[in-house]
Chains A and B, each alone.
Chain A
Amino acid sequence: MSPRITGGMGFFTTVREGISVAFDSLGANRVRSALTILGVTIGVLVVMVMAAVITGINSSFTEMISSRGITTFYVAHFDFSSGMGVGGPLEEEESDFFKNDPLDARWARDLGSLPGIESAAAMVDLGGSGYEASWGSQEVEISLYGVSSDFLEIDNGDIMDGRWFTNVEAERRANVVVIDSATAVDLFGGLDPLDRNIRITGRNDETSLRVIGIYRPPANLFAGLATHYVMAPFETTDKNLNVWDRSISFIVRPEPQTDLQDAIDVVHARMRRLRGLQPGEEDDFAVMTQDQIVDLWGRLTGALFAVMVGLSSVGLLVGGVGVIGIMMISVTERTREIGLRKSMGARRRDIMWQFLVEAATLTLVGGGIGLLCGGAIVFALEAWTPVPATVPLWSIVAALAASALTGVGFGLYPASRAASLEPVDALRYE
């Protein structure tokens, strides 16, 4: 034996050979290859776009939450941070949502006067009931909130023109309203909206309110997503519209120097007194910090993401089955080539590697195309829609790894078939 050569085929040589053979056969069977990698492409594309959208929304959400101040916390008559009301047993009569009494909006002032608390506001979201604002023949769908006068201070929003409503106006249930600039433009075009009366119409109720100010929500990406904010004093909405009192909640902002836990304890104690709870009785309300809400959000998007990963792995699976098919055909077509390579000294593992690399190259190309298309979609979303989207680096790595693994995983069987061919039979194959 010739002693000058030691060792078999090097790893990199194998991979390079495999890749060049893979591109050869990709080029030789374009349509077949394209169909095979389509599943992988779609799978990767979906993961990529969803990951980008979820990451984008997540960061906007966190931004939005913290734009109200890191220590701002919430009080409601049930614990919505546990996920109830968003997939929890909202319909069940025995859930806290129905069991506990609704909050009284007037308590907000009480909470706001506690030591260490800067302010507290009541807020009722009427947006879910399909309210519209109209002026003359102009109509626009709005997100309607009834809030107490302290709300603006906590929310960190701005008044661009006109003014916010006063405490006195709130107490007197004045028919005043503050609208955001999107609503102003849609209703009044270029006209000055101030001091004009707009009509608020719900499913079963309506009222007429005078515009006194133009509101700009705090800067965050959601500001672009959800527009047409319209805010009236809570007391006014309570008088003129059917406010569902179970949607009342409080936003509480501690003084900057107050420890968050101390502030929560003070509010918690006062809430128990307002509720008339005896020592030992369970809370019939909940105090929730932003961390809890961000957690809830994380769980929600996490669940959504798990569904996405599930869906896209179906894509990869379909792609993988395609890979088995095309590789089996490839092995059969190239039986003589395998025989030749074996007669030239290829070991089982060399042949195995060649076909695995070929399969992985196939799916990687599919994944790469998926990444490019996904990137283009994400770019388009960013540029032309208010949906925030950023591609996280890990999703690129994960997508490529998943597609390569699909190739290797599903290429295993055809590759081992190729590797175990007897050279003499393979050479004789017609």
Chain B
Amino acid sequence: MQNTNEAIITTHNLHKHYVMGAETVRALNGVDVEIRRNEYVAIMGPSGSGKSTLMNLIGCLDSPTEGEYVLNGQEVQVLDDDELARIRNREIGFVFQTFNLLPRATALHNVELPLIYAGVRSKERQRRASAALERVALGDRMDHKPNELSGGQRQRVAIARALVNDPSIVLADEPTGNLDSSTSEEIMDVFESLHAAGQTIIMVTHEFDIASHAQRVITLVDGKIASHNAEIPTFVGAAGHDFHIP
């Protein structure tokens, strides 16, 4: 079986610069990260720290200006558009703050979406999509459209969609940002059970109590890694930034 200590994500000297008019914004300024299989990692940092940029690079939604990124043994920065699409399809399951469900499609169809782009046949798609919905306890809501579901249920549909292609990593960007605290807990429980089942999870958040669910917290400040394994109570004080602590 796979070695749980094997690195699934390795970045080396990752840079991302944006040219805005005359100015160059260095959103990421030499980031080295290693994330191992079956880790549950939170990435924290104040706004403008580059955590969203890092998230986009890890998710292959964007390519680095400089540096290397190896995902599951594959060097990513050399890939072309179609290959990146394939990586996003097979290796990464996205969970967004705003759920990003197709409003006119049923829960089942929403979950099928990555399988459609993977070229999976209709019968098999339905089977796997319903299995993924069962996993997040929405087996009885498959034919509901997003506006017929609560916020927590919508995010669970999104999680099912992230899981359906059996990705190497689940990448969650502020997954509880649009949810109240009790629903947030419900979603965190889902993530924890996924992690317990062996899923690698990377989560971007600025919320202390959300990050506390992770095994390890990586903090970013000004486009650089501030800590690879921040102690949550200490880093809040040490970093001296204003995190939202409920």
In the complex the two chains form, what is the Cα distance from A350 to B82 in whole Å?
Answer: 10
Check if A347 sits within 8 Å of B85, measured CB to CB.
yes
Kindly supply a per-residue 1/0 record for chain B positions 45-74, scoring 1 wherever the CB is within 8 Å of any chain A CB and 0 otherwise: 000000000001001011000000000101
- A333 nearest CB across to chain B (Å): 11
Kindly supply a per-residue 1/0 record for chain B positions 81-123, scoring 1 wherever the CB is within 8 Å of any chain A CB and 0 otherwise: 1100110111100101000101010000000011011111010
Check if B119 sits within 8 Å of A7, measured CB to CB.
yes
The residue from B74, B82, B119, B161 contacting A6, defined by CB atoms under 8 A apart: B119
Contact residues of A between 149 and 167, Cβ < 8 Å to B: none
Q: Could you say which residues of chain A place their CB within 8 Å of the CB of B88?
A: 342-345, 423
Check if A5 sits within 8 Å of B119, measured CB to CB.
yes
Check if A345 sits within 8 Å of B94, measured CB to CB.
no
Given known A1-B91, A344-B94, A344-B161, contact A427–B72 (CB-CB < 8 A)? no
Interface range, A side = 20 to 34
The residue from A2, A17, A343, A347 contacting B61, defined by CB atoms under 8 A apart: A343
Q: Which of A8-16, A212-220, A360-368, A399-407 lies at the interface with chain B?
A: A8-16
A317 at the interface (CB under 8 A from B): no
Check if B85 sits within 8 Å of A346, measured CB to CB.
yes
A337 at the interface (CB under 8 A from B): yes
- A328 nearest CB across to chain B (Å): 20
In the complex the two chains form, what is the Cα distance from A102 to B89 in whole Å?
Answer: 85
Check if B116 sits within 8 Å of A424, measured CB to CB.
no
Contact residues of A between 1 and 54, Cβ < 8 Å to B: 1-2, 5-10, 13, 17, 24, 28
Check if A348 sits within 8 Å of B62, measured CB to CB.
no
Q: Could you say which residues of chain B place their CB within 8 Å of the CB of A2?
A: 90, 165-166
A336 at the interface (CB under 8 A from B): yes
Kindly supply a per-residue 1/0 record for chain A positions 331-371, scoring 1 wherever the CB is within 8 Å of any chain B CB and 0 otherwise: 00000110011111111101000000000000000000000
In the complex the two chains form, what is the Cα distance from A10 to B120 in whole Å?
Answer: 8
Check if B102 sits within 8 Å of A337, measured CB to CB.
yes
- A164 nearest CB across to chain B (Å): 75
Check if A345 sits within 8 Å of B74, measured CB to CB.
no
Q: Could you say which residues of chain A place their CB within 8 Å of the CB of B120?
A: 5
Given known A340-B100, A427-B61, contact A9–B82 (CB-CB < 8 A)? no
Check if B82 sits within 8 Å of A345, measured CB to CB.
no
Given known A8-B119, A424-B61, A427-B61, contact A345–B102 (CB-CB < 8 A)? no
- B90 nearest CB across to chain A (Å): 5
- A339 nearest CB across to chain B (Å): 8
In the complex the two chains form, what is the Cα distance from A423 to B55 in whole Å?
Answer: 13
- A402 nearest CB across to chain B (Å): 30
Q: Could you say which residues of chain A place their CB within 8 Å of the CB of B72?
A: 1
The residue from B59, B74, B117 contacting A341, defined by CB atoms under 8 A apart: B117
In the complex the two chains form, what is the Cα distance from A337 to B120 in whole Å?
Answer: 21
Check if B166 sits within 8 Å of A10, measured CB to CB.
no
Check if A348 sits within 8 Å of B82, measured CB to CB.
yes
Check if A344 sits within 8 Å of B91, measured CB to CB.
no
Top-8 shortest CB links A-B: A345-B89, A345-B117, A347-B85, A424-B61, A424-B62, A423-B61, A344-B114, A340-B100
* Chain A residues with a Cβ under 8 A of chain B: 1-2, 5-10, 13, 17, 24, 28, 336-337, 340-348, 350, 422-424, 427
17 A–B contact pairs at CB < 8 A? A2-B166, A5-B118, A6-B119, A8-B117, A8-B119, A28-B104, A336-B100, A340-B100, A342-B88, A344-B88, A344-B94, A344-B113, A345-B117, A346-B117, A347-B82, A350-B85, A424-B56
